[in-house]
Amino acid sequence: MFADSFHPTIDGAVVAMDIAAEGLEKRGHEVVVLAPNPQAKVTYKRKVHYLPSREFKNYPGYRFVISPSDMLEFLRNEKVEVVHSHGLASMGILSLTAARALRIPHVLTFHTMANESVKYYSPLPIRQDFMISLVWTYLRNLLKRPEVVIAPSAPTRDELLENGVVMKSCEVVPTGVDCQKYSPERYDKSFLERYGLVGKRVLLHVGRLSLEKRLDVVLEGVAKIGPRVPDLRLLVVGKGPAEQDYKELAKKLGITDRVIFTGFLPDEDMPKAYASAEILVIASTFETQGLVVLEALASGTPVAGARYRAIPEFIQEGKNGCLFELDSCAEAIQRCLLRSDSMMINAVSTARDYSVDSCCAKLEKCYEKSAQILADSS
């Protein structure tokens, strides 16, 4: 597996890769990882080969590879049979190079809507519409090359096709959720006590604190309904480059006493956070899947989510959550709070359809299909 972003940086692509790797290992496979060399390495449970890299200054925590170094030698020594890229940038290109050099199948998971993120982090002073057009040109050129492109949701696949992306094969395979780890049974009163939230109506937001995640919409929603729900609190889990911007917005909106920024939480605390909150709120229009949605549902926590891209694939209005346009977040939060108890069972039921094992079984079929496509083209 090739990764553009990797520990200690944590984002949706990193989490998805970790879940897939662990699920595949349980099914008898061996996984090795290639990643940009970080400034500070962390302990990781599987073999990682780091490549020389530099920091991407427009997005703190991200790095791009500057040399393939001994990439091919490592892959040959490991007797790699399939290359699976979780990145679209430098590692996406290098993964294709490696697969062609070794004549093995290449699979790429499309985690990131790069056409949207570029407007926030472009290093070039180019007009936004022109930059987005360049990104789509790049994506069309990149995604025509893997034997199989994996879209984490049907809306993501459809958006690629609607924008003229031609692929050898595109399969929809969501990242699975561990329904034993994430469960209503993980409710923990002591977790709420830690943040002074016992007896409060707790909204949860989980994700990297970056501009494209649109936490501003959630903060404005809390400010709007706060006077009508005096015990409402928002627990914001995560860190990122826009953290200070969001803290300043909370102050400007006069809701600093209602918003708790926890930073990153240890892995063992995340199930407690989901199960101890009343609802999850996500306003991002950026999600190719939104794994946090499935983690919340598995925890019995309904979701108030933006009616955009992948989120409506998992949320049904009034059954396991509520959907909203960006100008109606507050109303959706209120609807969700009114029916949160009655939606719990449906939330858990939805998540069970996306177990890690079932999603990894689909991933295996993608690997098999990629090998067949490569053999047929030889």
What's the confidence (pLDDT) of residue 59?
Answer: 66
Per residue, the 3-state secondary structure of 186-247, as one string, reads: HCCHHHHHHCCCCCCEEEEEECCCCHHHCHHHHHHHHHHHHHHCCCEEEEEEECCCCHHHHH
Domain identity same for 334 and 205: yes
The DSSP string of 54-123 is EE-TTSTT-EEE---TTHHHHHHHTT---EEE--SSHHHHHHHHHHHHHT--EEEE--B-HHHHHHHH-S
The alpha carbon dihedral of 364, 366, 368, 374 has a sign of: negative
What's the confidence (pLDDT) of residue 130?
Answer: 82
Q: What percent of the chain has pLDDT over 70?
A: 96
Q: Say if 105 falls within a structural domain.
A: yes
Domain identity same for 152 and 194: no
**Three-class DSSP category at 308:** coil
Domain identity same for 170 and 194: no
Domain identity same for 167 and 266: no
Residue 57 reports pLDDT greater than 90: no
What's the confidence (pLDDT) of residue 118?
Answer: 62
Chain segment 302-344, per-residue pLDDT in tens: 999 999 989 999 999 999 999 999 999 999 999 999 999 999 9
**Three-class DSSP category at 324:** strand
Domain identity same for 136 and 250: no
Chain segment 240-266, per-residue pLDDT in tens: 999 999 999 999 999 999 999 999 999
Chain segment 142-167, per-residue pLDDT in tens: 999 999 999 999 999 999 999 999 99
d(C-alpha 122, C-alpha 112), whole Å: 15
What's the confidence (pLDDT) of residue 265?
Answer: 95
What's the confidence (pLDDT) of residue 117?
Answer: 63
Domain identity same for 107 and 160: yes
Q: Say if 280 falls within a structural domain.
A: yes
Element (H, E) at 332: helix 329-352
Q: Say if 341 falls within a structural domain.
A: yes
Q: Say if 247 falls within a structural domain.
A: yes
Number of separate domains in the chain: 2
| Average pLDDT over the chain, rounded to an integer | 93
Chain segment 15-45, per-residue pLDDT in tens: 999 999 999 999 999 999 999 998 888 899 9
SS3 content of the chain, % helix, strand, coil (to 5): 45, 15, 35
Centre a 10 Å sphere on the Cβ of residue 307 and count the other Cβ atoms it contains.
16
Residue 331 lies in domain: 184-352
Domain identity same for 217 and 344: yes
- As given in the structure block, the two tokens for residue 214 are 């649109």
Contact between 309 and 285 under an 8 Å Cβ cutoff? The reply is yes
What's the confidence (pLDDT) of residue 72?
Answer: 97
**Residue 268 belongs to a domain with what CATH number?**
3.40.50.2000
Centre a 10 Å sphere on the Cβ of residue 77 and count the other Cβ atoms it contains.
11
Q: Say if 100 falls within a structural domain.
A: yes
What's the confidence (pLDDT) of residue 41?
Answer: 84
Contact between 318 and 339 under an 8 Å Cβ cutoff? The reply is yes
What's the confidence (pLDDT) of residue 323?
Answer: 97
Query: Cα torsion at 149, 239, 313, 276 (round to 10°)?
Result: 140
Q: Say if 3 falls within a structural domain.
A: no
**Three-class DSSP category at 299:** coil
Domain identity same for 311 and 373: no
If pLDDT is split at 50, 70 and 90, which confidence band does 62 have? confident
The alpha carbon dihedral of 319, 320, 326, 329 has a sign of: positive
Domain identity same for 227 and 158: no
Both ends of the chain: CA-CA distance in Å?
23
Q: Say if 4 falls within a structural domain.
A: no
What's the confidence (pLDDT) of residue 9?
Answer: 86
Domain identity same for 318 and 193: yes
Domain identity same for 302 and 325: yes
Contact between 72 and 58 under an 8 Å Cβ cutoff? The reply is no
Q: Tell me the pairing of strands 53-55 and 63-65.
A: antiparallel
Chain segment 82-138, per-residue pLDDT in tens: 999 999 999 999 999 999 999 999 999 999 877 666 655 556 667 778 888 999 999
Global pTM reads 0.84
Phi-psi region of 240 (alpha: psi -120 to 50; beta: other; left: phi over 0): left
Domain identity same for 147 and 209: no
Mean pLDDT calculated for residue range 195-212: 94
Q: Say if 6 falls within a structural domain.
A: no
